Copies of this chain bind each other. A is one copy, B any other.
Amino acid sequence: MKSAPGFAYMSHIREGLPKPAPASVSPRYNFGTGHNDPNLIPVDGLARATEEALKFCGRDLAKYMMGGSALGIESLRKLVASMLYERRGISVVPDQVLITGGSAQGIDLVNQILVSRGDTVIYEQYTYSGAFSKLARAGARCVGAALDEDGVVPESLDRLLQDLKARNVTPRYLYIIPTVQNPTGTVMSLLRRQELLAVTRAHGLPVLEDDCYADVSWVGPLPPALFALDPTQVIYIGSFSKSLAPALRVGYAVAQPDLVSQLLACKNDGGTGSVDQLAVSQYLDGRLDTHLREVSRTLEAKSVAMIEAFERHFGPHAKIRRPAGGIYVWVELPKHIDTRKLVEPAKAAGITFNPGAEWACDPESAKHFMRLCFAMPSPDEIETGVAELAKIYRSHLSQTADDGRAAASHAVST
């Protein structure tokens, strides 16, 4: 017996959606995904802490949000508040901390409360690629603010805002990663932070500060967060993805109480996963500083391994600024290179990385850059993977040169 023909459900899907997701891939040399170092997961401690927490308050799982505040589990919000005070100069009460499913949800919530279709948002010229798709989903566009080695340049931002004003465009907010900028790895100085906030305040521009890499840095005491300098003009987001584990979907948004209430009203997910929250809170309580020191030390060593591998295998072709923290390097190749063209041959060799064009407001401006994550691969994998990538690069170079000669000879012969 033949079954009836199927209902064509896919024909009802609306237009303009993200393309159906491809199957997962596990490349041999994964420099493309912001994974962490598996050896930095405190497996036994985390397992024990989670068990303890569940034994202590597991009964509360019967209630949405464990019967407590919709903001998230209180012990975790207290931990975040105290951590932000000690490490980022931020002074808030736990009720100003909204636990989110990673910092990514924080960006989505801010878009929800600030952005309408057709709006404009200011991004750093190079920034976190995930923020582009989030903005596209919100139906808005971004304009890039110029960066130098100290982050967003206040004078350039001021000019940009004046230009937009002259064109009757009121940007909705500035999305900025001032501490371990993604992808450039720089940390904005205190003076620059003050200048920047003076500009945004003069223009009435709200700020979203993404501080998700601040806990994994190795350049000595960090300047205070923008939020610490003026808590009224900044919404602050952070995450335990880099400092503990990305598969734990635990981040936080911090703001003035009225903004927290508004963000919470838009967070319609029935709460962030409770056992994930309990695991973070119970494990890190009392262990935070030790843990972060170990994570940062290991990541710094890996960043050095990657930079040295680039020096060995790319020589003067690659310029890399030593990152102040984080899990990635931002590599500049000669201006005529388009790293998008290296993606497929690299993939064929089991290597993934982020072409610069995908991390820039103006893709063409960053086409000769690439971002490589170093946290997950072992030092050996970093060495071998970068060596392999260098071969692909050189083969691309000679291919381009051949093309150039062919084009030149074609030009002559016609």
Most chain B CB atoms below 10 A, which of A137, A235, A275: A275
What is the CA–CA distance of A18 and B70 in the complex, to the nearest angstrom?
A: 15
- Which of chain B's residues have a CB closer than 8 A to the CB of A13? 113-114, 259, 262
- Number of copies of chain A assembled together: 2
Whether A247 contacts B376 by the Cβ 8 Å rule is no
- Which of chain B's residues have a CB closer than 8 A to the CB of A12? 114, 172-173, 204, 206
Interface string of A109-140 (1 = CB under 8 A from B): 00011111000000000000010011001000
List of 8 A-B pairs having minimum Cβ-Cβ separation, nearest first: A273-B273, A6-B232, A7-B233, A20-B261, A47-B54, A273-B276, A43-B58, A51-B51
- Which of chain B's residues have a CB closer than 8 A to the CB of A47? 50-52, 54-55, 58
Q: With A62-B37, A101-B101 in contact, is A24–B69 under 8 Å at CB?
A: yes
Question: Is A60's beta carbon under 8 Å from chain B?
Answer: yes
- Which of chain B's residues have a CB closer than 8 A to the CB of A64? 33-35, 246-247
Q: How many chain A residues touch B (Cβ–Cβ < 8 Å)?
A: 99
Question: Is A214's beta carbon under 8 Å from chain B?
Answer: no
Which of B9, B48, B256, B272 makes the CB contact (< 8 A) with A9?
A: B256
**A98 to chain B: closest CB distance in Å?**
10
Question: Is A46's beta carbon under 8 Å from chain B?
Answer: yes
**A22 to chain B: closest CB distance in Å?**
8
Whether A10 contacts B259 by the Cβ 8 Å rule is yes
A61-77, CB < 8 A from B: 61-70
Which of B7, B38, B51, B270 makes the CB contact (< 8 A) with A63?
A: B38
- Which of chain B's residues have a CB closer than 8 A to the CB of A21? 70, 261-262, 264-265
Q: With A67-B35, A269-B105, A270-B102 in contact, is A54–B62 under 8 Å at CB?
A: no
